Structure 1
Amino acid sequence: MNTKPHTREKSYSCEVCCSCFPNKQYLATHMRTHTREKPYSCEVCGFSFTMKNTMLQHMKTHIGKKPYSCDVCGSIFARKYNMLQHMQTHTGEKPYFCEVCGFSFTRKHHLLQHMRTHTGDKPYSCKDCGSSFTRKDGLVIHMLTHTGEKPYSCKVCGYSFTRKNYLLQHMRTHTGEKPYSCEVCGSSFTRKDSLVIHMRTHTGEKPYSCKVCGYSFICKSNLLQHTRTHTDSTKLDTPPN
């Protein structure tokens, strides 16, 4: 007599990616990841979702209900899933690995976004100029270049920015904060990318090369300045018509 427990086979397959599901409802929900259909909308802000329970969880952000708290730092969350993701900032766990370069991430959607740097996929396009982006927030920020909107303003000097991180970087010019320090010589910087460029003075790395003469530079701006020496000399060497 066969005593093995009965297991239901996954009989519903996605025609796009061949993923299998135990019932038709799960398949229908999965298909929305391909069609980008979001039939469940928030009555407060209009934000849309592929699943009803995700929308209901989102509604808690409007009523202020945050029943899940972090045991380490006390941060509170509307969804248990968000709390579990937050916990990874304390544990350092990054369970999602890129099979191409080995880079790891705390969240699956961060990995999916990263994979586009390898595939070149840019699914978000600007209707005004056709520029494409790997992430939706990249498109949203780009659109500000067309509207001229700069929603982030400095309370000290009134200067405005298209991105919040640009404002935060700018604020350091007022506070004098330089949170990024060189481990070799102790020099400190207001921006991380400035530290990265500085480190090349220690490592000798010069990743930006001139296509005309092969001369290399530690940063792109130095390369752009250098290339003008070629274009200017070309203009001088070209006889007038």
Structure 2
Amino acid sequence: MLIYTNEKPYGCDVCQKRFRRHGHLKSHMLTHTNEKLHRCDVCEKSFADSGNLKKHILTHTKEKPHQCDVCEKRFAQSGHLKTHILTHTKEKPHQCDVCEKSFSRSGHLKTHMLTHTREKPHQCDVCKKRFSKSGNLKVHGLTHTKEKPHRCDVCERCFAQSGDLKKHTLIHTKENPHRCDVCEKRFRTGGNLKAHGLTHTKEKPHRCDVVCEKKFSEVGHLKRHMLTHTKEKPHRCDVCKKMFSRVGHLKRHMMIHTNEKPHQCDVCEKRFREVGTLKRHMLTHT
């Protein structure tokens, strides 16, 4: 009979991280050697772990073998199903020891803890900028490579991140899948719903610790506010070299060079560069 304990007898000689199983240690060691022994036969992408390769294969087969018993939504990975189930149970088993905020995922708790420690362990090899999340570093890396591997099948617009493509696709489908439980208003993205939820709770958990102690409901608003103190303009136009404090301002500016007008009037089909201009135009029809 197997007895499970919290003991972790296998230690990594490089970073001292410990593991319960020797196989887990062996897989971990590949993160230091950068060795990727497992290759996909379809696209030839390589992986350090055979399990990651198996998960990747599902992106080609489109297979989703794991189904939610509540809403029948299907998932490629059992872990994704487990996380999804928490949206039905509203369970948040992972609690922060500092501020007692609770999270449904352990990964979200780990990320949250960095807001207390101010730690940014992930560094860009090109410009040395540091990030608290590895995912943010990966996204940042695309600003150097200019790679946009994700393309919209409808308008052929390309995106650096698959998540941005998914959000963009909702523009074409007009779908707003995220609904507020208080006022039933619907939103295109989960992030927009979360931000909206704070208008009901009046909660402003993000505070400017550097200068003025002003509080904000969204971390993005705090980051933009911080630039008013630092006067930093980190976003540069590759065409005319003009600098901007916000990436959104840069994106709008880039449309001047590309002459792109992504927002179309459903009545007369006239196109506009900014959604605000489209909204004002719509009033001419009413």
Which TM class, normalised by the smaller chain length? Answer: 0.5 to 0.7
| 1:198-226, Cα deviation, whole Å (9 max, x unpaired) | 789x8999955995xx7968776778779
Aligned mates of 1:134, 1:76 — CA distance in 2? 31
1:72 matched residue in structure 2: 70
Query: Is 104-113 or 76-85 further displaced after alignment?
Result: 104-113
1:81 is aligned, of 79, 82, 91, to 79
- C-alpha distance in 2 between matches for 1:26 and 1:223: 41
Per the alignment, do residues 120 and 40 of structure 1 end up closer, same or farther by CA in structure 2, a change over 3 Å counting?
A: farther
Aligned equivalent of 2:138: 140
| Equivalent position of 1:129 in the other structure | 127
* Greater RCO, CA 8 A, separation 6+: 1
Matched, 1:13 2:27: no
What is the match of residue 27 of structure 2? 29
CA distance in 2, matches of 1:69, 1:79: 10
Residue 42 of structure 1 and its aligned partner are, at CA, apart by 2.8
Q: Is 1:124–1:139's contact at 8 Å kept on the other side of the alignment?
A: yes
Pair member with larger Rg: 1
Alpha-carbon spacing, 1:87–1:33, altered in 2? closer, same or farther (3 Å) = farther
- Name the counterpart of 1:97: 95
In structure 2, the CA distance between the partners of 1:225 and 1:46, relative to structure 1 (3 Å rule), is same
Deviation at 1:62, TM superposition (A): 1.2
- Contact map agreement 1:152 1:167 (CA 8 A) in 2: no
The answer to whether structure 1 residue 108 and structure 2 residue 106 are counterparts is: yes
The unaligned stretches of length 5 or more in structure 2 are: 232-286
Aligned to 1:120: 118
CA separation of 1:54 and 1:160: change in aligned 2, threshold 3 A: closer
For residues 72 and 97 of structure 1, the distance between their equivalents in structure 2, rounded to whole angstroms, comes to 26
Question: How many pairs align?
Answer: 218
Cα deviation for residue 133 of structure 1 reads: 1.2
Shift in Å at residue 57 of structure 1? 3.3
The letter for the 2-side match of 1:21 is: R
| Structure 1 length-normalised TM | 0.57
State the 1:70 CA deviation: 1.0
Q: C-alpha separation between the residues in 2 aligned to 1:83 and 1:91?
A: 13
Q: In the aligned structure 2, how far is the partner of 1:38 from the partner of 1:114?
A: 30
Residue 55 (structure 1) shift: 2.0
Contact 1:209/1:223 (8 A) holds in 2: no
Do the aligned residues in 2 keep the contact of 1:180 with 1:195 (CA within 8 Å)? no
* Percent of aligned pairs sharing the same letter: 30
- Decide whether the 8 Å contact of 2:123 with 2:131 is kept in 1: yes
Distance 1:50 1:115, change over 3 A: farther
State the 1:69 CA deviation: 0.9
How far apart in 2 are the matches of 1:29 and 1:53? 10
Give 1:64 shift: 2.1
Change (3 A) 1:91 1:25: same
State the Cα deviation string for residues 120-170 of structure 1 (Å, max 9, x = none): 3323322332111122331233234445567788x89x998766559959x
Give the TM-score normalised by the residue count of structure 2.
0.50
Cα distance in 1 for partners of 2:77, 2:98 equals 32
Give the partner amino acid of 1:40. H
d(CA) in 2 for partners of 1:167 and 1:7? 44
Per-residue CA deviation, residues 83-122 of structure 1 (Å, 9 max, x unaligned), is 1221111111222222222233222223223333333332
Matches within 5 A, 1:1-241: 12-14=9-11, 15=13, 16-17=15-16, 19=18, 21=20, 24-32=22-30, 38-147=36-145, 168=167
- Letter of the aligned partner of 1:19 in structure 2? R
Provide closer, same or farther for how the CA distance between residues 95 and 199 of structure 1 changes in structure 2, counting only shifts above 3 A. closer
